[in-house]
């Protein structure tokens, strides 16, 4: 069974631009969550989607948004990029509540 | 402030030695997971524990969940260079689940031959 797939793996953006990251969950998994990992803050929760509905949200500004499609694939968008948005963005999936969460390899975003 | 306090932050040992990583909190978790992460990669799941007092063994790795479900430990017996990596504990709060894992800061383990 294929794991969680994230694209792109690496990207470089300029301050003020926007970026969209994509995530395909494990087949059959309906819950997708996103995390940001930085050396200073570690892994921080961004948001979680289940059946196209956002069920939970972390403490990030409104520039960070996401959505989930009917096939459970998810995208997250960051607008008006800042240097501090440089991070590894991780997507994770699981069948539903109360189950183990599996992570993808992440998308490395560098903002210059 | 992180809800899960992981210790130590860094551990350097010789091949064959044992090591223990601790994960502590004042909050109660419905489940707790341990991951290992390599540089530039996503965390890879090692184990999930859900029952207070639960002990799980995975070859040379032993995981324990505290009776009150507030703490956990990871013990590695006879460590090997392949055990090198960043070990992360993560848990779901009883009061705030739905995909929201609270992560510890991680323990960087280095095992030298």
Taking only the tens place, the pLDDT of each residue in B39-82 is 889 999 999 999 999 999 999 999 999 999 999 999 999 999 99
**Does the pLDDT value for residue B95 go beyond 90?**
no
Across-strand partners of B65? B72
Distance between CA atoms of B66 and B60, rounded to whole angstroms? 20
**What is the distance of C-alpha A66 from the center of its chain?**
8
**Does the pLDDT value for residue B97 go beyond 70?**
no
Average pLDDT of adjacent 10-residue blocks, chain A of 112 residues? 90 98 95 94 94 93 97 97 97 81 96 98
Mean pLDDT computed over B10-19: 97
CA distances from A108 to A13, A57, B73 (A): 11, 21, 30
A94 touches B at CB < 8 Å: yes
- Tally Cβ neighbours within 10 Å of residue B111: 20
Residue pairs spanning A and B at CB distance below 8 A: 70
Task: Identify the pLDDT of residue A1.
Answer: 59
Task: Identify the pLDDT of residue B107.
Answer: 97
Give contacts of A44 with chain B, Cβ < 8 Å: 103
A71 touches B at CB < 8 Å: no
Task: Identify the pLDDT of residue A109.
Answer: 97
């Amino acid at each position: 069974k294929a794991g969680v797939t994230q694209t792109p793996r690496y990207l470089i953006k300029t301050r003020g631009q926007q970026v969209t990251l994509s995530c395909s969950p494990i087949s059959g998994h309906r819950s997708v969550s996103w995390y940001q990992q930085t050396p200073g803050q570690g892994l921080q929760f961004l948001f979680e989607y289940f059946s196209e509905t956002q069920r939970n949200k972390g403490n990030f500004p409104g520039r960070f948004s996401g959505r989930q499609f009917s096939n459970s694939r998810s995208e997250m968008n960051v607008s008006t990029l800042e240097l501090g948005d440089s991070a590894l963005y991780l997507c994770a999936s699981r069948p539903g509540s109360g189950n183990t969460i599996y992570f993808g390899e992440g998308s490395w975003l560098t903002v210059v | 402030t992180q809800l899960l306090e992981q210790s130590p932050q860094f551990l350097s040992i010789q091949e064959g030695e044992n090591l223990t990583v601790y994960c502590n909190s004042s909050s109660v978790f419905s489940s707790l997971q341990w991951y290992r992460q390599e540089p530039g990669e996503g965390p890879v799941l090692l184990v999930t524990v859900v029952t207070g007092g639960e002990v799980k063994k995975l070859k040379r790795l032993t995981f324990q969940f505290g009776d009150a479900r507030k703490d956990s430990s990871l013990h590695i017996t006879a460590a090997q260079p392949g055990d090198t990596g960043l070990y992360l504990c993560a848990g779901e709060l009883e009061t705030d689940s739905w995909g929201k894992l609270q992560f510890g800061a991680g323990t960087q383990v280095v095992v030298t031959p």
